[in-house]
Amino acid sequence: MIKKVVISAAGRGTRMKGLSKDKPKHLIEVNGKPFIFYLLENLKKAGLEDIVIVVGYKKEILEKFISKYDSNITIINQFEKLGNEYGTACPIKCVEDIMGNEQFLSVCGDDLYSVSDIKNMMKDDDYHYVSGTVDEHPETKGVLITEDGYLEKIIEKPKEFVGDLVNTGMYKFTPEIFKIANGVRLSSRGEYELTDSISYLAKRKKVKVKKVKEYWLEFTRPEDVIAVSDFLKNNQI
C-alpha cells in the first residue's frame, strides 16, 4: 500500500505576478484558505499519510503554515539540499533518503486533483505512472504520446498537433526514479527536468498512463484564483 507523497513547492510562482511577491504561490488564499490546504486535504483523504513538502522560496512562511496545519509533515529545504540546482527533478532528488525503497506519489503544490484521481494513481506495482487529461490547447503543455496504455514519450509544447492528452504533473514512482533523476543532464534551459527522467524510463516500457477522470485544477496565474474559487464553491469542496 502506497502511503508516501512528495509535494514540490520550492518555486516562487512568477506567473502569479504580484500575488506571490511576499509569499509562495501555494499560500495564496482561495475562499479563505491557502491553496495548498485543499491539496493536502485531498491527499490525506486518499490515504497518503506520509507527506513530504520540498520548499524553497519564502520557505519560512510556508513552514509556519505547515507547522500549524500538521506538525507531522516533513519539510525539506531544496536550496539547502541542492544549492543552486534548479528544475522539476530537484524535489525528487531531495527525498531519496526519506523515501528509501518505497514507492510514492509526486505532485506539484500548485495543482489540485480529486481524491478519486489520486487513489487511481496509487498502484503498488513495478511500473511508474503519469497522469494525463485531454486539453483543448495541448500546444501549451507537455503532450503524452502513448501506445497500449504505455507512455512512449513526452513532447513539450509541440508547434504542430501530435495529440491532446497532456501531462498533469501527478506521478507514481518506484525507487528506480532516484538513480535516473540523479543521472539526468542539464537541459537546454539549464535545468534538471523530471520529464527527461520519465522519458528515459518510457523508452524501456516502464511508464504507464492514467487518465484524470474527475478534475485537475492549475494554480499558476492570477485568473486561476477566481477559477479555482468558483470550482470549489460550485462543487462544495
Express each pLDDT in 29-61 by its tens digit. Answer: 999 999 999 999 999 999 999 999 999 999 999
**pLDDT tens digits for 95-145?**
999 998 999 999 999 999 999 999 999 999 999 999 999 999 999 999 999
CA 59, 141, 152, 113 torsion: positive or negative? positive
Distance CA 67, CA 210 (A): 33
Residue at 135 is within a domain = no
**Amino acid, res. 206:** K
108 exposed, middle or buried (CB, 10 Å; 0-12, 13-18, 19+)? buried
pLDDT of residue 235: 82
pTM of the model: 0.95
Mean pLDDT of 60-78: 95
Distances (CA, A) of 96 to 12, 26, 180: 23, 23, 12
In a domain, 21, yes or no: yes
Residue 19 inside a domain? The answer is: yes
- What separation in angstroms does the CA of 194 have from each of 18, 129, 169, 224? 28, 13, 10, 24
CATH number at residue 18: 3.90.550.10
pLDDT tens by residue, 145-177: 999 999 999 999 999 999 999 999 999 999 999
The verdict on residue 47 lying in a domain is yes
Does some domain include residue 134?
Answer: no
- Residue 144 forms part of a structural domain: no
How distant, in Å, are the alpha carbons of 4, 80, 86, 94, 171 from that of 97? 13, 15, 19, 8, 19
Residue 37 lies in a domain: yes
In a domain, 139, yes or no: no
Range of the domain at 33: 4-124+170-189+214-234
Please state the domain count of the chain: 1
Q: Give the model's pLDDT for residue 190.
A: 86
Residue 64 above 90 pLDDT?
yes
